[in-house]
Amino acid sequence: MLSVAVRAITYATLFIAFVLVYLPAQVLARAGVTRPAEIGPAQLAGGALAAGGAAVALWCVATFALVGRGTPAPFDPPRRLVVRGPYRYVRNPMYVGAIAALCGGAIFYGSWGLLGYAAVFAVLVHAFVVLYEEPALRRAFGDEYAAYCREVRRWRPGGGGA
Protein backbone atom coordinates (compact mmCIF):
# COMPACT_ATOMS: atom_id res chain seq x y z
CA MET A 1 0.00 0.00 0.00
CA LEU A 2 2.84 2.39 0.78
CA SER A 3 4.24 1.79 -2.70
CA VAL A 4 0.90 2.82 -4.26
CA ALA A 5 0.78 5.95 -2.11
CA VAL A 6 4.34 6.90 -3.08
CA ARG A 7 3.57 6.38 -6.78
CA ALA A 8 0.35 8.40 -6.51
CA ILE A 9 2.07 11.26 -4.68
CA THR A 10 4.90 11.27 -7.22
CA TYR A 11 2.51 11.39 -10.18
CA ALA A 12 0.34 14.06 -8.58
CA THR A 13 3.35 16.20 -7.74
CA LEU A 14 4.73 16.00 -11.28
CA PHE A 15 1.33 16.63 -12.91
CA ILE A 16 0.43 19.52 -10.61
CA ALA A 17 3.90 21.06 -10.80
CA PHE A 18 3.96 21.01 -14.60
CA VAL A 19 0.36 21.48 -15.75
CA LEU A 20 -1.06 23.55 -12.91
CA VAL A 21 1.98 25.58 -11.78
CA TYR A 22 4.83 25.74 -14.33
CA LEU A 23 2.82 26.14 -17.55
CA PRO A 24 0.36 28.67 -16.07
CA ALA A 25 3.31 30.64 -14.65
CA GLN A 26 4.81 30.72 -18.15
CA VAL A 27 1.51 32.00 -19.58
CA LEU A 28 1.37 34.75 -16.95
CA ALA A 29 5.03 35.69 -17.39
CA ARG A 30 4.78 35.93 -21.17
CA ALA A 31 1.70 38.12 -20.84
CA GLY A 32 3.50 40.33 -18.33
CA VAL A 33 0.96 39.57 -15.61
CA THR A 34 2.23 40.02 -12.07
CA ARG A 35 0.70 39.40 -8.67
CA PRO A 36 -2.06 41.88 -7.85
CA ALA A 37 -0.96 44.71 -5.56
CA GLU A 38 -4.06 44.28 -3.42
CA ILE A 39 -6.27 41.38 -2.51
CA GLY A 40 -9.82 42.25 -3.50
CA PRO A 41 -13.03 40.34 -4.15
CA ALA A 42 -11.74 38.88 -7.44
CA GLN A 43 -8.62 37.56 -5.75
CA LEU A 44 -10.63 36.06 -2.90
CA ALA A 45 -13.07 34.40 -5.32
CA GLY A 46 -10.27 33.20 -7.60
CA GLY A 47 -8.23 31.93 -4.68
CA ALA A 48 -11.22 30.05 -3.27
CA LEU A 49 -11.99 28.47 -6.65
CA ALA A 50 -8.34 27.52 -7.18
CA ALA A 51 -8.05 26.04 -3.68
CA GLY A 52 -11.32 24.14 -4.06
CA GLY A 53 -10.26 22.75 -7.43
CA ALA A 54 -6.87 21.72 -6.08
CA ALA A 55 -8.51 20.05 -3.07
CA VAL A 56 -10.80 18.01 -5.34
CA ALA A 57 -7.84 16.95 -7.50
CA LEU A 58 -5.88 15.83 -4.42
CA TRP A 59 -8.94 14.00 -3.06
CA CYS A 60 -9.04 12.11 -6.36
CA VAL A 61 -5.38 11.11 -6.13
CA ALA A 62 -5.95 9.78 -2.60
CA THR A 63 -9.07 7.90 -3.70
CA PHE A 64 -7.21 6.30 -6.62
CA ALA A 65 -4.47 5.11 -4.27
CA LEU A 66 -6.67 3.93 -1.40
CA VAL A 67 -9.68 2.54 -3.25
CA GLY A 68 -8.35 1.76 -6.72
CA ARG A 69 -4.87 0.62 -5.66
CA GLY A 70 -3.27 2.63 -8.45
CA THR A 71 -2.55 6.14 -9.63
CA PRO A 72 -4.17 8.59 -12.07
CA ALA A 73 -1.29 8.00 -14.50
CA PRO A 74 -2.33 6.08 -17.64
CA PHE A 75 0.77 3.89 -17.28
CA ASP A 76 -0.14 2.94 -13.67
CA PRO A 77 -3.95 2.91 -13.53
CA PRO A 78 -6.13 1.74 -10.65
CA ARG A 79 -6.59 -2.02 -10.33
CA ARG A 80 -10.25 -1.52 -9.35
CA LEU A 81 -12.89 0.74 -10.83
CA VAL A 82 -13.10 3.80 -8.60
CA VAL A 83 -16.70 4.92 -8.05
CA ARG A 84 -16.38 6.29 -4.50
CA GLY A 85 -15.28 9.62 -3.10
CA PRO A 86 -15.62 12.41 -5.68
CA TYR A 87 -16.22 9.79 -8.39
CA ARG A 88 -19.72 9.25 -6.95
CA TYR A 89 -20.72 12.63 -8.37
CA VAL A 90 -18.86 12.98 -11.66
CA ARG A 91 -16.73 10.55 -13.70
CA ASN A 92 -13.78 12.92 -14.12
CA PRO A 93 -13.53 14.97 -10.94
CA MET A 94 -9.73 15.22 -11.10
CA TYR A 95 -9.92 17.06 -14.41
CA VAL A 96 -12.85 19.15 -13.21
CA GLY A 97 -10.78 20.13 -10.16
CA ALA A 98 -7.75 20.98 -12.29
CA ILE A 99 -9.85 23.13 -14.65
CA ALA A 100 -11.47 24.87 -11.67
CA ALA A 101 -8.01 25.56 -10.20
CA LEU A 102 -6.84 27.06 -13.50
CA CYS A 103 -9.98 29.20 -13.82
CA GLY A 104 -9.50 30.33 -10.23
CA GLY A 105 -5.96 31.39 -11.09
CA ALA A 106 -7.26 33.30 -14.11
CA ILE A 107 -9.75 35.15 -11.91
CA PHE A 108 -7.13 35.82 -9.23
CA TYR A 109 -4.72 37.36 -11.74
CA GLY A 110 -7.36 38.84 -14.03
CA SER A 111 -5.68 37.01 -16.91
CA TRP A 112 -7.45 36.24 -20.17
CA GLY A 113 -4.34 34.31 -21.24
CA LEU A 114 -4.63 31.97 -18.28
CA LEU A 115 -8.35 31.56 -18.94
CA GLY A 116 -7.45 30.63 -22.53
CA TYR A 117 -4.92 28.10 -21.22
CA ALA A 118 -7.68 26.61 -19.03
CA ALA A 119 -9.99 26.38 -22.07
CA VAL A 120 -7.32 24.66 -24.19
CA PHE A 121 -6.57 22.30 -21.30
CA ALA A 122 -10.30 21.49 -21.01
CA VAL A 123 -10.58 20.71 -24.74
CA LEU A 124 -7.47 18.50 -24.67
CA VAL A 125 -8.66 16.68 -21.55
CA HIS A 126 -12.08 16.08 -23.11
CA ALA A 127 -10.45 14.60 -26.21
CA PHE A 128 -8.17 12.42 -24.07
CA VAL A 129 -11.10 11.16 -22.00
CA VAL A 130 -13.32 10.38 -24.98
CA LEU A 131 -10.66 8.95 -27.30
CA TYR A 132 -8.41 7.10 -24.86
CA GLU A 133 -9.55 6.92 -21.26
CA GLU A 134 -13.15 5.80 -21.66
CA PRO A 135 -12.36 3.06 -24.21
CA ALA A 136 -9.54 1.82 -21.95
CA LEU A 137 -11.90 1.73 -18.96
CA ARG A 138 -14.53 -0.13 -21.01
CA ARG A 139 -11.94 -2.76 -21.93
CA ALA A 140 -10.63 -3.05 -18.37
CA PHE A 141 -13.91 -3.01 -16.42
CA GLY A 142 -16.60 -3.99 -18.96
CA ASP A 143 -20.17 -4.06 -17.69
CA GLU A 144 -19.19 -2.51 -14.35
CA TYR A 145 -17.91 0.60 -16.15
CA ALA A 146 -20.93 0.68 -18.50
CA ALA A 147 -23.28 0.67 -15.48
CA TYR A 148 -21.23 3.43 -13.85
CA CYS A 149 -21.48 5.54 -17.03
CA ARG A 150 -25.27 5.16 -16.99
CA GLU A 151 -25.39 6.43 -13.40
CA VAL A 152 -22.76 9.20 -13.34
CA ARG A 153 -22.15 11.99 -15.85
CA ARG A 154 -18.77 12.68 -17.42
CA TRP A 155 -18.32 16.36 -16.49
CA ARG A 156 -21.07 17.57 -14.18
CA PRO A 157 -22.97 16.10 -11.26
CA GLY A 158 -26.41 14.68 -11.85
CA GLY A 159 -28.12 11.58 -13.13
CA GLY A 160 -26.34 9.36 -15.68
CA GLY A 161 -25.45 9.84 -19.28
CA ALA A 162 -22.51 11.46 -21.03
pLDDT per position as a tens digit, 108-159: 999 999 999 999 999 999 999 999 999 999 999 999 999 999 999 999 987 6
First to last CA, the chain: 33
Half-sphere exposure of residue 90: CA atoms within 13 angstroms, side-chain side? 13
Q: Say what the pLDDT of residue 58 is.
A: 87
What proportion of the chain, given as a percentage, has pLDDT over 90?
A: 67
Cβ within 8 Å of residue 63, ≥6 positions away: 82, 84, 85, 86, 87
For 17-35, the pLDDT digits (tens) are: 888 889 999 999 999 999 9
Contact assessment for residue 94 and residue 157, using Cβ atoms and an 8 Å cutoff: no
Contact assessment for residue 31 and residue 96, using Cβ atoms and an 8 Å cutoff: no
For 49-103, the pLDDT digits (tens) are: 999 999 998 898 888 888 887 777 777 778 889 999 999 999 999 999 999 999 9
